Homo-oligomer: A and B are copies of this chain.
Amino acid sequence: MRVRLVSTSHFAAAHRLHRDDWDEATNRRIFDKCNNPHGHGHTYGLAVTVEGEIDPETGYLMDFGHLKRAVDESVVRRLDRRHLNFDVDFLKGVNPTAENIAVAIWGQLADRVAPGRLVRVALQETERNSVVYEGGAP
């Protein structure tokens, strides 16, 4: 039987949307108030989904605690209470839009959730906005 597990977490981080290779006016025009020089932040909500078969021995796809630890170690501890433009190795050189963060989180998790198979990273940035990445190339 194939099922999906969803594990949700939160992390509090600052970011600033900005490209160093653009002038200030362009940065301001494209990223608007999200380009404010000192940055701003969010309490991001993260929902990670893995897919796989139920192990007939345990009745688990995988232990939720195991999945939670993988997400905490690979992602949450490295992002929580950080500035995403400066403090996170796997975001170096990345403009931290919600889209880019979701894709980067996928990269950190894809090899860490066996026997599950990573199928979805959903990142909620505000009470109105969220991004979903399912690993798809165009």
Residues in A lying within 8 Å of B, measured CB to CB: 1-10, 12-15, 17, 30-34, 36, 38-45, 49, 53-54, 58-61, 63-65, 68, 80-83, 85-87, 94-100, 102-103, 125-134, 136-138
Query: Nearest Cβ in chain B — how far from A30, in angstroms?
Result: 6
> In the complex, A15→B97 CA distance in Å?
19
Are A138 and B7 closer than 8 Å at their CB atoms? no
Q: A49-B132, A59-B95, A68-B129 are in contact. List 12 more A-B contacts (CB 8 A).
A: A1-B99, A1-B103, A3-B99, A3-B132, A4-B131, A7-B128, A12-B41, A12-B126, A31-B58, A43-B125, A59-B97, A60-B97
**Number of copies of this chain that the complex holds:** 6
Query: Nearest Cβ in chain B — how far from A38, in angstroms?
Result: 3
User: In the complex, what residues of B have CB within 8 A of residue A131's CB?
Assistant: 3-6, 61
User: In the complex, what residues of B have CB within 8 A of residue A32's CB?
Assistant: 63, 65
Tell me whether chain A's interface is mostly helix, strand or loop, or mixed: mixed
Are A80 and B130 closer than 8 Å at their CB atoms? no
Residue of B nearest to A129 (CB): B64
Query: Nearest Cβ in chain B — how far from A124, in angstroms?
Result: 8
Query: Nearest Cβ in chain B — how far from A104, in angstroms?
Result: 10
Are A97 and B58 closer than 8 Å at their CB atoms? yes
Are A128 and B8 closer than 8 Å at their CB atoms? yes
Are B137 and A2 closer than 8 Å at their CB atoms? yes
